[in-house]
């Protein structure tokens, strides 16, 4: 069968799914993405990663500010899509938009629904200490990530995973699950949609920069998760012996201590141990104001007074 597809996405996460659409044999008739936004020090208008990829592939690009007005919906209708695929697009689709494609709209979502509906499922999963994540291919409906699930892929979350590493793995899994959905649909199969459970619903609220501040009165394991989740953005921040720094990597050390939360217990080449409300946090790479990311050993070269003899 033939399949006319419109793809809607914006950030780097969406690119593998866009490539999966191109490779599927479907007729990719247009790409929708967010309008160009100011970026960089010069605040120059910059195209989204998806727009740049679409232009490189000579695919028509649409960048409406909204799909709520009739003119924008008429433009979408003119493409006569059988299916619209949405991957981190950034616009809410109304019922009128969802009804335009003959087969409706699919969404690739980076969590195991109904857990972590919403904007930041990758980071919220790490912050919560989840041991597993994945991607769902979902049939979209008007609610926020409430639609039935068509296909799923799972992956463990390890203590080495950062927000960036899990992002990249889920992006690739999203392309994999989308490719399967398109292959089966192009073969004439109707995918079975499984309604989401009403139990276990969690919302992944948008990240706020203020959340990256480390409170050393909390348990070290919770702070380790903060550091991992907020790499590469917004990057955890904390104070080490009176200096505010960005903390790029750290891990919890299960060890009791008598130090006040935030005090330096030990500082050696392998890391800087900071007292927490429970256990210690060993900081292994960090960044001073105006500087670049460095190892703890290099930081201690600049602050030799912190070196411990323990």
Residue 278 to residue 250: CA distance in whole angstroms: 15
Assess contact for 85 and 6: CB atoms under 8 A.
yes
Q: 174: closest CA among 92, 110, 246, 269?
A: 110
Assess contact for 223 and 251: CB atoms under 8 A.
no
> What crossing angle do the helices spanning 15-23 and 163-186 adopt, rounded to 10°?
20
Is 18 annotated to bind a ligand? Reply is no
Residue carrying the six token digits 């955890």: 236
Look up residue 19 and give its two tokens.
Answer: 């490539």
Residue 233 to residue 123: CA distance in whole angstroms: 10
Residue 112 to residue 203: CA distance in whole angstroms: 12
CB-count exposure of residue 206 (10 Å: 0-12, 13-18, 19+): exposed
Strands 280-287 and 243-253, sheet pairing: antiparallel
Look up residue 268 and give its two tokens.
Answer: 């050696």
Residue carrying the six token digits 């949609």: 193
Residue 47, preceding peptide bond in cis (omega within 30° of 0): no
Is 98 annotated to bind a ligand? Reply is no
Look up residue 232 and give its two tokens.
Answer: 């590469």
Is 111 annotated to bind a ligand? Reply is yes
Bridge partners (DSSP) of residue 285 are 249, 295
Q: What are the phi and psi torsion angles at 6 (to 5°)?
A: -110, 130
Instruction: Give the annotated binding-site residues.
Output: 111-114
Name the binding residues for (6S)-5,6,7,8-tetrahydrofolate: 111-114
């Amino acid at each position: 069968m033939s399949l006319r597809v419109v793809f809607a996405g914006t950030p780097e996460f969406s690119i593998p799914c866009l490539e999966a659409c191109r490779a599927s044999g479907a007729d990719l008739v247009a790409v929708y993405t967010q309008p160009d936004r100011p970026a960089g020090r010069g605040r120059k208008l910059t195209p989204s990663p998806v727009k740049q990829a679409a232009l490189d592939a000579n695919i028509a690009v649409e960048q409406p500010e909204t799909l709520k007005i009739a003119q924008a919906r008429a433009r979408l209708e003119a493409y006569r899509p059988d299916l619209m695929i949405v991957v981190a697009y950034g616009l809410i689709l109304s019922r009128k938009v969802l009804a335009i494609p003959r087969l409706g709209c699919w969404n690739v979502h980076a969590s195991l629904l109904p857990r972590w509906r919403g904007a930041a499922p990758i980071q919220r999963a790490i912050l919560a200490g989840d041991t597993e994540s994945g991607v769902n291919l979902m049939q979209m409906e008007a609610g926020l990530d409430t639609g039935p699930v068509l296909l799923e892929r799972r992956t463990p979350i390890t203590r080495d995973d950062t927000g960036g590493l899990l992002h990249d793995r889920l992006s690739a899994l999203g392309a994999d699950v989308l490719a399967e959905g398109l292959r089966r649909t192009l073969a004439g199969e109707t995918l079975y949609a499984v309604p989401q459970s009403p139990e276990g619903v969690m919302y992944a609220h948008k990240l706020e920069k203020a959340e990256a501040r480390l409170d050393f009165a909390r348990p070290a394991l919770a702070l380790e998760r903060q550091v991992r989740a907020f790499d590469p953005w917004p990057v955890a921040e904390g104070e080490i012996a009176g200096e505010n720094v960005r903390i790029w990597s750290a891990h919890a050390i299960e060890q009791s201590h008598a130090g006040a939360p935030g005090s330096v217990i030990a500082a050696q080449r392998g890391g800087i141990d900071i007292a927490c409300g429970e256990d210690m946090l060993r900081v292994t790479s960090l960044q001073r104001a105006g500087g670049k990311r460095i190892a703890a050993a290099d930081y201690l070269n600049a602050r030799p007074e912190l070196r411990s003899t323990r």
